[in-house]
Amino acid sequence: MKNRYDSRPIGIFDSGVGGLTVLKELLDAFPHEHFIYLGDTARVPYGAKSARTVERYTIQVADFLIRRNVKGLVAACNTASALGIGALRAHCDTPVLGVIQPGCQQAMVSINDKHSHIGVIGTRSTIASGAYPNTLALLEPQLKVSSLACPLFVPLVEEGWLDHDATIMIVEQNLAPFIKNPVDVLILGCTHYPVLKPVIGKILGKKTKLIDSAEAVAESLGKLFNNVIRPAKKGEQQKVEFYVTDVADRFQEVAGRFLQGLAVDSVDMVDL
């Protein structure tokens, strides 16, 4: 007997546009799924907020998507995954997937041995939470893990300064500890950072493997939903709905850089 798929959409949320890097990977991996994306652009960035505030925001944005009858939620925000996902899972019965566990699991696949040196970069709140080192320690206690907060990377990406001289200088200065003491693997612990992969990769060199959590999330999502992923239908087009809590025009402008040219034809503004 064939398994019946769940035709409901998958909800994705982020504090702003960074989660679009996750959406892009999911669109490529599951071309016949229906996705609903919510960017909480009125309250971005989550990375500078307290844990209590992030928990509250995470539940509010998730509730918006749950009301739209999603079959699962992807917290496409490292800060929400680090500080809010526990409260969210206690709040609702809908399956929830964050970005931290998949990223750490992908890092483990990329290391040579249990004594490897893993670097993590992210927002101040994500780094302060210790979520990545704690998760990695559960997977392999003998790993060496070094973390760096790189808050200037987000505005660089959102302004489109991807190959600007100032961008190269700022990235070099922020990653100076990893240039002096190279890491075997670097986890890009913010969904904005994959847009800077060419710059980061050039500065750190080929010996450092870059881990894009967005790619890992796509693999984990397939396992989470197993046989309820929507099958292909002849002539059917992919469906994506976009919502923001402020400045829809700005979101559309920036979204093109994250979705690599995929058009965002309409964005609806909502109150949470």
The top-level CATH class assigned to 10-98+216-269 is alpha beta
Q: Which residues are catalytic?
A: 77, 190
Q: Encoding tokens for residue 23? A: 């959406």
Residue 1: predicted pLDDT: 38
- Cβ partners under 8 Å of residue 203, min gap 6: 168, 171, 172, 175, 179
Compute the distance between CA of residue 162 and CA of residue 195 in angstroms, rounded to an integer. Answer: 8
Domain with CATH 3.40.50.1860 in the chain: 10-98+216-269, 100-214
Residue 56: predicted pLDDT: 96
DSSP letter at 114 equals T
pTM of the model: 0.90
Residue 180: predicted pLDDT: 95
Given 3-state DSSP classes, what are the helix, strand and coil percentages for the chain, each rounded to the nearest 5?
45, 15, 35
- Please state which CATH number belongs to domain 100-214: 3.40.50.1860
Residue 118: predicted pLDDT: 97
Residue 231: predicted pLDDT: 54
- Tens of each residue's pLDDT in the chain, 272 residues: 345 677 889 999 999 898 999 999 998 888 888 999 999 999 988 888 899 999 999 999 999 999 999 999 999 999 999 999 999 999 999 999 999 999 999 999 998 888 899 999 998 889 999 999 999 999 999 999 999 999 999 889 888 888 889 999 999 999 999 999 999 999 999 999 999 999 999 999 999 999 998 888 988 887 776 655 555 555 556 789 999 999 888 888 888 778 876 778 889 999 98
- Measured CA distances, 155 to 78, 160, 218 (Å): 16, 8, 25
| 180 three-class SS | helix
